[in-house]
Structures are given as C-alpha cells and as structure tokens.
Chains A and B, each alone.
Chain A
Amino acid sequence: MCAAWPTLVLLAATEESIPPAGTAVRTVVRIVLGSFIAVLVAYILLEQIGSWRRRRAAREP
C-alpha cells in the first residue's frame, strides 16, 4: 500500500492534462441525462400525488 501510494499520486496529478471532448458530444450527453432525470422526477411526483389522493379519499366519509 505504502509503495503504491506515490504512483497513485503521480497518476492523479496527470489527470487534468487530458483535453476535453467537443461541445456537440457533451450537448447530446446532457440531453440524455436531462431526460433521465425528468423520468425519475416524474415517477416520484406520480407516486406522491397518488399517495396524497388515496390518503385524502380515505379521510373523506
């Protein structure tokens, strides 16, 4: 572990030297990511609204 530590530190230090990819690729990735998050949020909203409606219906005489 101790011997491997300096090597790991050296590798980590070079990480930032990798040039970034083009903006078009990043835009596509961000659209996919945004859609993914939207689906998850929609699911949570659907479950919460359904739960709220059932609890409200249960309270009504």
Chain B
Amino acid sequence: MNPSHRHQDEEIQRFTANELAQHWVLMITLTVLALTGLALFAHGTFVGRVLMAIEGGMEARGAIHRFFAVVLMLLTAWHFLYAVFTERGHRQLMEMLPRASDLAGFAGLLRYYLGRTPEPPAFGRFTPLQKLQYWGAGIGSLMMIGTGLILWFHTQAMAVLPKWLFDVTTIVHGYEGLILFILLFGWHLYIVHFSPGNFPLQRTFISGRISRQRLWREHRLEYRELFGDTPPAADPPRSNQEAP
C-alpha cells in the first residue's frame, strides 16, 4: 500500500495496515497491563479491590499481567524489526526523531493557544506532541519490560542485585506504570479524540486515513510535500474546529 496514495478526493492513507495493527496490539496490551497492574498498585482501595475481583483474584491477575507482558515484549521486537529493517518503518522512525525545531514548534503552539499568533505553527509528518507521546510510550514500555523482568524473576535478581536497587525497581515499575496510564489514557486520548477539532472521535486509528483538510491544518509541511501550496477545499463548518 502506498501510504501517500490519495483515497478518493478527500482522504489520503497516512498509516499502513502493519502500523495500524501494531497500534491496536499496543492499545489492547497496555490496557490490560494497566488494569491488571492497577489492581495490585491500588489493592488497598475500593477501585483496586473491584479490579482484583473482576480479574479473578490475585493469582489470576498476576498470570494475566505476565501473559500480556510477554505480548508487549513480542510487540516491541516486532516494532524494532519494522523500524530498523523496512524502508517505510525506518523513514517513519527518522521522522519521529526529536529536533531542535520541535521546541520552537511547541513554543509556537503555546503562543497560539495564548492568542499571541493568529495561526498555529506548520508541522511536518509528526507534531512535537506526537513525538513526545511516541517516545514517552516507547521508552516507558522499555522501562516497564526491564523492571518487570526483574520483578518477575525476583529470586534470580536478588542473587545479583542489592536490596535498595530492588526496592527502586519496584517503585519505578509501579509509578512508571501509573505515569504511562495517565499519559496514554488521559493525555493521549484527550489530544487525539477530545481536543478542539477532534471531538468526539478521530478515525485515523481505525482506517489509517486522514482528510486533506486535517492534513493541511495539522501537518502543513507534509501536505505541501504531497500537494504543493494549494489549500484543500474548505471544511464543512463545525462548531469546535481548531488546529492542530
């Protein structure tokens, strides 16, 4: 599938089936890991007790958590192989790399929110916020896998690690999980689906497609690479239309 292929007149294919599949597996995996992890993390609270009961008790919860941890490891390997050994994946990874211009872009976005500039900055394939979410989730997942393996094989780990490091690992795993939960289920969902112009649902994660109008608003540099400087036909009017 050619990702830049125009779909009909209004939409273009932004993500391939492979990329969408990775996102779906990550979405399901992190949801289950978050819910089973939260049951243990907050086991003394009402929410924790309810989650623990739904998940079949302490033992079943741990088993489900470990099963999906293995799925996350396999997904990480899949994503690594995709990003390193396929041309498309490698290009995407290069586009995702943080650059100095992202700081200026983010500052410009804040100035736009504050009403200091009439237009938001022009972004390329990925906006600074998208890069922040990608690297936050990516590095966070790697940390969760590393610390999770130490906790899983704690008998072997205790033979070579000092007690304080094991304590820190326990805390990092719990709170990093909480940070990931907040980042993905709070902030990410807000930015993708609930922010102005996106509410109530942005369908790119289902179809992989994006309208030319949205591409113009949110990824203007990429739009110019594909279609030149001619803006698309105007959007149908929406009360909450904003960018990006």
Contact = CB atoms under 8 A, between A and B. Distances in A.
Interface in A6-55: 8-9, 11-16, 18, 20-22, 25-26, 29, 33, 36-37, 40, 43-44, 46-51, 53-55
Nearest to B115: A53
Interface residues of A, number: 31
Contacts of B61: 12
Contacts of B175: 29, 33
A44 B182 CA distance: 13
Contacts, number: 80
A29 B186 CA distance: 20
Interface string B91-116: 00000000000000000001011110
Contact of A33 (B114, B167, B178, B195): B178
Contact of A54 (B167, B187, B242): B242
Contacts of A12: 58-63, 65-66
Contacts of B110: 46
Contact of A50 (B115, B167, B239): B115
Contacts of A16: 58
A5 B168 contact: no
Contacts of B186: 40
A21 B163 CA distance: 10
A36 B181 CA distance: 12
A1 B208 CA distance: 33
Contacts of A55: 239-240
Contact of B40 (A15, A20, A54): A15
Given A13-B59, A55-B240, 7 more contacts: A9-B60, A11-B62, A12-B58, A18-B154, A33-B175, A33-B178, A36-B179
Which 4 pairs from chain A and chain B are nearest by CB? A12-B62, A50-B113, A21-B167, A51-B196
